[in-house]
Amino acid sequence: MEQPPNIDQLFRERLHHAEVPPPAFVWPRVAEELRRRRRRFFLWLWLGVGLAGAGVWGLWRVNAGHNSLTGAVKTTRETAVHPTPSNRSITGNTSAAAPLPTLAREKSTSNRSITGNTSAAWVLPNEKAKSQAGTQREASAQVFYPVKKQKQFGRQSALHAAPDPLLLPLLTTKDGSSSVITEISPLAYSAAPLTFLPEIKAGLVLLSPAHSLVLPKAKPFVRKKKQPLKNCYNFAQHPRVWLLDAYAGPSLPQRQLTAMQSESDDYLQQRRNTEKTNWAFHAGVRGSLLFGRHFLLRTGAHYEQMTEVFAYGDPNYIRVLTEQTSHLVDGTWKTVLDTISISYGEHYVKTFNRFGMLEIPLLVGAEFRAGRVGVSVQGGASLNVWFWKRGTILDAGGSPQNFTPGQEDASPVFRHRAGWSATASAQLFYHLRPRLRVFAEPYYSHAFRPLTLASQPVAQHYTIWGLKLGLTKIFD
């Protein structure tokens, strides 16, 4: 059921045109918001105007450069001239005996600008008449730089004392002849660099036939290439080169003996007591591809030889000296074994165990240079082969045991191949010559698999530290 409509009407009459004074803070907020929006609008407006102006200025500059290039071409054509003896320069460095002529500029009939990119003709006033007479002469050109020779020019020129050289046009009408000759003070050059900036940059060209100085276009700025340092290879020109390293150096192998079973601890201790690392060295050749000026791929052949000392003394050793004698008795040989002597004491055995390992490294690295010195870091994996093993160690029974392969009494103890090693090194090099370096390279290598066979109660690992000292030859 619809509610009687009077409630709508009553509320509408009372509230539709009701007025309630708003809080005082509303208007300041509204005004501030309006001001903020206005500032934002003008900010965007000025930004747009600025961008548009920058665009217009850029287009104007591009067009101006294009026009100046055209003017330069014209100038080049005009200055295709030959030197003559009558050539004179206002710089004073070429004709010191004669008083320097007044530098003047002939206002050409084509209203060429003095400051613009169009060519301006400069003439010597005392020869202007000849030029006006249309005398055909060979043209010559000399380039001089008024700024650099300013002092010299100023001393010798009569215009040096010009009383009012600073005011533009810095050119004063001189002669009374039919053509207008305008002088220019040397001070004018220094006082109005902006006015003569194109001329100062470009230098002036004195033309003999018309004795006019043409202002060539300034040469574009070309950044000079960095001169390569002496005895330093220019890797910038050859970002991909081959490096051949030859090196040798001392090594410090660290042997880790690990008992495979707990029962082998005594044997492990005997091994540790009887074997000591003696000395080691390495040598190798390595080829590297240096690409991207800094990145390295290296491989080669690395030989590592380690020597260990096996020293063992058996305190319970008994030496029995026997003599075997054969006698012919009644037509048959009889053998008599006689004990000569029996010695009790310590049996001492000392051998030099040698291990030879060949590694084929596969390394990646990076090289950073600063002049003749540089560093490189590389790392990767190496395939190692223990191709040479010779010596004696204690066996599990506590007796010395020959493990040299190929010998009759040898027992198999070591593998032929240990597998893969992890290798890393850092190289510091110095260029003796552009293509020759010396380097020192500490390195680290760890063989993952033990050198010993799996049947051995004690596993033998190797970690090798070393210092490679060598030479590097660079090939393009």
Partner 1 sequence: MKSVPSAYISPESQSPFFAIQLLSETDIIRGCLRGSAQSQRLLYERFAGKMYAVCLRYAHTQADAADILQEGFVKVFTKLGQFQFQGSFEGWVRRIMIHTALRMYQRQRFEMEQSGYEHLPESPVEPEALSLLSEGELLKLINGLPGGYRAVFNLVAIEGYSHAEAAELLEIQESTSRSQLTKARRWLAEQLRLLQKEHVVSTTQD
Binding segment for partner 1 (CB under 8 A), chosen from 11-19, 43-51, 154-162, 266-274, is 11-19
Report which of 54, 164, 178, 189 is spatially closest to residue 109, judged by C-alpha positions: 178
Examine residue 221 and tell whether it contacts partner 1 (CB under 8 A): no
* Closest distance to partner 1 from the beta carbon of 37 (Å): 7
Q: Which is nearer to partner 1, 2 or 330 (CB)?
A: 2
Q: Which is nearer to partner 1, 17 or 226 (CB)?
A: 17
Strand stretches in 113-240, DSSP E: 121-123, 143-144, 171-173, 181-184, 204-207, 212-214
Q: Tell me how far apart the alpha carbons of residues 124 and 165 are, in angstroms, rounded to a whole number.
A: 19
DSSP state of 135: -
Residue 208 · residue 84 · CB < 8 Å: yes
Q: Tell me how far apart the alpha carbons of residues 167 and 148 are, in angstroms, rounded to a whole number.
A: 22
Binding segment for partner 1 (CB under 8 A), chosen from 22-30, 182-190, 257-265, 345-353, is 22-30
- Tell me the CB-side half-sphere exposure of residue 264, using CA atoms within 13 A: 16
Examine residue 370 and tell whether it contacts partner 1 (CB under 8 A): no
Question: Which 3 state secondary structure label does DSSP give 410?
Answer: coil
* Closest distance to partner 1 from the beta carbon of 28 (Å): 10
Kindly determine how many residues on this chain lie close enough to bind partner 1 according to the rule CB under 8 A: 30
Q: Which is nearer to partner 1, 17 or 224 (CB)?
A: 17
Binding segment for partner 1 (CB under 8 A), chosen from 20-28, 82-90, 205-213, 297-305, is 20-28
Examine residue 12 and tell whether it contacts partner 1 (CB under 8 A): yes
Binding segment for partner 1 (CB under 8 A), chosen from 26-34, 186-194, 219-227, 464-472, is 26-34
Q: Tell me how far apart the alpha carbons of residues 407 and 404 are, in angstroms, rounded to a whole number.
A: 6
Examine residue 10 and tell whether it contacts partner 1 (CB under 8 A): yes
Helix and strand numbers, DSSP H then E, in the chain:
7, 17
Site string for partner 1, 30-69 (x = CB under 8 A): xx-xx--xx-------------------------------
Examine residue 323 and tell whether it contacts partner 1 (CB under 8 A): no
Give burial (CB, 10 Å; 0-12/13-18/19+) of 119: buried
Residues that bind partner 1 (CB under 8 A): 1-4, 6-8, 10-12, 14-23, 25-27, 29-31, 33-34, 37-38
